[in-house]
């Protein structure tokens, strides 16, 4: 029976991998004219996946495995439980819904690109309306307690609810605003001008790729390409794809974008080989996944210790641009804290206000208190309230993110969860590796990656996110560690 179960899972994961290849190609090399045929290809594969996972034979095999599960070693038992959870979720979704959503999101991504280029949300509103209605229907099909947004949160962060998230985000937002008030009188003492000088694109990509390899991303089982929106995808732990984007007048975009995605990639490369071909051979949740990317991007690569090691490499790559900089001044530049329009390019403190904004809009979309056509006005009002800035056009505001176009309603909170988790994990790591900061300063990243693999990566999806955080950090989710972390860094950068 277990052999039969693994055959079912292998087929499902291969279909997942095939769809991932097509989606990766759509974002990197596919010609614009192919979007309609790509939508049909992905819809067909989504339907086949659903059909295979929910067939009478697969259900029979699942029930047989359920009866055997209690006698299995723990990891195998958890693999079976993950399969059964996925099958039960899929059984609630008709094949027609799955195919419609795959088609709508493929076309939606194309509509989003066109709307963003034209700076006109109206060109995306019809596509987003269809996607939103499909996600509302999905929430009803899946079932939920309390708020309909809980059904979406559960997809990306199992067990998380609006009632759990509201108080954490409220406390986080309050703590951030208090910190910003302390920084404001000292804001003129730190400049990030160096980041916006002219930097050759190919040299940026070469430098960033060399750095992620040093961190531990394996290019023998991964590669790097360019896309409009940076992402990481994997077709197997031996085939992990990263993308980044290059801006000649913004050094952060390529460098920190690729470090961020490499954190996702190292997570995928570190899943235990025994999980290969199962539905557990992936990250535990998007919040845990983001904790890994944000750990490397922020905890490591925005630390002062990191720039003791990395600054000479950046200076070798860009000698004229760095001629007036020191490791200390560059460290301060990349940690300049100030409200901005763009989430991806914001600092690690105000970034969370961008997520709180999106969380509120998504929550209101799902319960019907916000209409799709009212998003631009609602977005601009919340930007003004939370960050004190207002986008001049839709591409700077409500069209800056790709997530809604691929149906990722419920995804955004994962980014801030990742920040909170990463600060908690850093404190836990330091209790076991008290010399972790020295390792970073010396460019010795292997002990850090090994700790993450031992405590998180190897388990794949065999544990729930709250179980991981409780096991490793001996605490439930909290904003306290993150606020302490950013306050300490702000003190170093601004002298507050």
Query: What is the reported pLDDT for 409?
Result: 98
Beta carbons of 308 and 274 less than 8 angstroms apart: no
Q: Over the stretch 354-392, which tens digit does the pLDDT of each residue have?
A: 999 999 999 999 999 999 999 999 999 999 999 999 999
* Whether the Cβ atoms of residue 224 and residue 242 lie closer than 8 Å to each other: yes
Asked whether the predicted pLDDT for residue 197 surpasses 90, the reply is yes
Distance of alpha carbon 422 from alpha carbon 296, whole angstroms: 9
Task: Please report the pLDDT score of residue 326 as a whole number.
Answer: 97
At residue 228, does pLDDT exceed 90?
A: no
Instruction: Give the pLDDT of residue 229.
Output: 80
pLDDT digits (tens, 9 = 90+) for 475-495: 999 999 999 999 999 999 999
Greatest alpha-carbon span in the chain:
69
Among the listed residues 114, 111, 38, 488, the one whose alpha carbon sits nearest the alpha carbon of residue 303: 488
Domain ranges of the chain: 2-143, 162-494
pLDDT tier for residue 252 given thresholds of 50, 70 and 90: very high
pLDDT at 344: 83
What mean pLDDT is predicted for residues 20-26? 94
Q: Which residues pair with 223 in a beta bridge?
A: 241
The pLDDT value given to residue 261: 97
Catalogue the long-range contacts made by 481-486 (C-beta closer than 8 Å, 24 or more residues apart).
481/420, 481/423, 481/424, 481/426, 481/427, 482/172, 482/419, 482/420, 482/422, 482/423, 482/424, 483/172, 483/175, 483/176, 483/179, 484/423, 485/299, 485/423, 485/426, 486/179, 486/348, 486/349
What band does 263 get if pLDDT is binned at 50, 70 and 90?
very high
Alpha-helical runs (H) found in 143-250: 149-156, 162-183, 201-215
pLDDT average, residue stretch 244-257: 96
- Rounded Cα distance between 155 and 132, Å, is 15
| Position 406 confidence tier, pLDDT thresholds 50, 70, 90 | very high
**How many angstroms from the chain centroid is the CA of residue 73?**
31
Q: Mean pLDDT for the chain?
A: 96
- Helix, strand, coil percentages for the chain (3-state, nearest 5): 70, 5, 25
pLDDT of residue 222: 97
**pLDDT value, residue 313:** 98
Residue 1 has pLDDT above 90, yes or no: no
Element holding 112 (H helix, E strand): helix 95-118
Residue 261 a catalytic site member: yes
Q: Which pTM value belongs to this model?
A: 0.93
Q: Which of 99, 261, 290, 297 is catalytic?
A: 261
**Residue 257: CA count within 13 A, CB half-sphere:** 24
Task: Say what the pLDDT of residue 345 is.
Answer: 82
Q: Report the DSSP pairing between strands 222-226 and 232-236.
A: unpaired
CA-atom Rg of the chain in angstroms? 22
Show the CA angle centred on residue 393, arms to residues 389 and 394, nearest 5°.
100
Instruction: Say how many CA atoms lie within 13 Å of 216 toward its Cβ.
Output: 25
For every residue of 401-453, DSSP letters joined together read -SGGGGT-TT-THHHHHHHHHHHHHHHHHHHH-TTHHHHHHTT--HHHHHHHH
For the sheet containing 239-244, what is the strand order?
A: 222-226, 239-244, 232-236
Going along 227-344, which residue ranges are E strands? 232-236, 239-244
C-beta of residue 461 within 8 angstroms of C-beta of residue 284: yes
Buried b (16+ CB within 10 A) or exposed e, 101-110: bbbbbbbbbb
Structure tokens at 122: 């109206």
Distance CA 450, CA 452 (A): 5
Model pLDDT, residue 374: 98
At the second CATH level, the architecture of 162-494 is Orthogonal Bundle (1.10)
């Amino acid at each position: 029976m277990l052999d039969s179960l693994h055959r079912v899972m292998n087929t499902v994961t291969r279909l997942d991998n095939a769809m991932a290849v097509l989606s990766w190609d759509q974002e990197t090399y596919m010609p614009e004219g192919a979007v309609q045929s790509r939508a049909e290809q992905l819809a067909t594969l989504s339907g086949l996946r659903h059909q295979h996972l929910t067939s009478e034979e697969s259900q029979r095999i699942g029930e047989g495995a359920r009866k055997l599960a209690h006698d299995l070693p723990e990891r195998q038992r958890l693999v079976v439980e993950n399969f059964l959870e996925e099958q039960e979720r899929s059984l609630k979704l008709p094949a027609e819904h799955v195919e419609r959503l795959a088609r709508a999101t493929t076309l939606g991504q194309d509509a989003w690109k066109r709307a963003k280029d034209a700076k006109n949300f109206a060109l995306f509103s019809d596509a987003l309306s269809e996607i939103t209605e499909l996600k509302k229907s999905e929430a009803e099909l899946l079932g939920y307690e309390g708020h309909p947004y809980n059904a979406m949160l559960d997809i990306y962060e199992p067990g998380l609810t609006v009632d759990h998230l509201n108080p954490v985000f409220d406390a986080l937002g309050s703590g951030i605003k208090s910190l910003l008030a302390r920084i404001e009188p000292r804001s003129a003492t730190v400049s990030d001008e160096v980041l916006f000088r002219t930097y050759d694109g190919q040299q940026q990509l070469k430098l960033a790729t060399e750095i992620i390899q040093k961190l531990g991303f394996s290019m023998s089982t991964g590669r790097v390409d360019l896309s409009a929106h940076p992402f990481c995808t994997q077709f197997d732990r031996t085939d992990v794809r990263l993308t980044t984007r290059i801006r000649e007048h913004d050094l952060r975009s390529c460098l920190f974008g690729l470090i961020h995605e490499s954190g996702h990639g190292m997570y995928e490369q570190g899943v235990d080989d025994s999980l290969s071909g199962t539905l557990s051979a992936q990250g535990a949740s998007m919040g845990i996944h983001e904790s890994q990317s944000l750990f490397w991007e922020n905890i490591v690569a925005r630390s002062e210790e990191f720039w003791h090691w990395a600054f000479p490499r950046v200076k070798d790559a860009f000698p004229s641009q760095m001629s007036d900089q020191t490791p200390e001044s560059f460290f301060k530049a990349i940690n300049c804290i100030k409200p901005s329009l763009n989430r991806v390019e914001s600092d690690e403190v105000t970034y969370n206000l961008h997520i709180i904004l999106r969380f509120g809009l998504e929550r209101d979309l799902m319960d019907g208190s916000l209409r799709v056509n009212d998003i631009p006005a609602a977005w601009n009002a919340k930007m003004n309230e939370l960050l004190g800035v207002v986008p001049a056009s839709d591409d700077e505001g409500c069209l800056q993110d790709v997530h809604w176009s691929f149906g990722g309603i419920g995804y955004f909170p994962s980014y801030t969860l990742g920040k909170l988790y990463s600060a908690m994990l850093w404190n836990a790591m330091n209790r076991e590796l008290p010399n972790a900061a020295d390792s970073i300063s010396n460019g010795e990243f292997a002990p850090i990656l090994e700790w993450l693999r031992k405590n998180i990566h190897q388990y794949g999806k065999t544990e729930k996110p709250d179980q991981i955080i409780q096991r490793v950090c001996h605490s439930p989710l909290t904003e306290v560690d993150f606020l302490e972390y950013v306050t300490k860094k702000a003190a170093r950068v601004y002298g507050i």
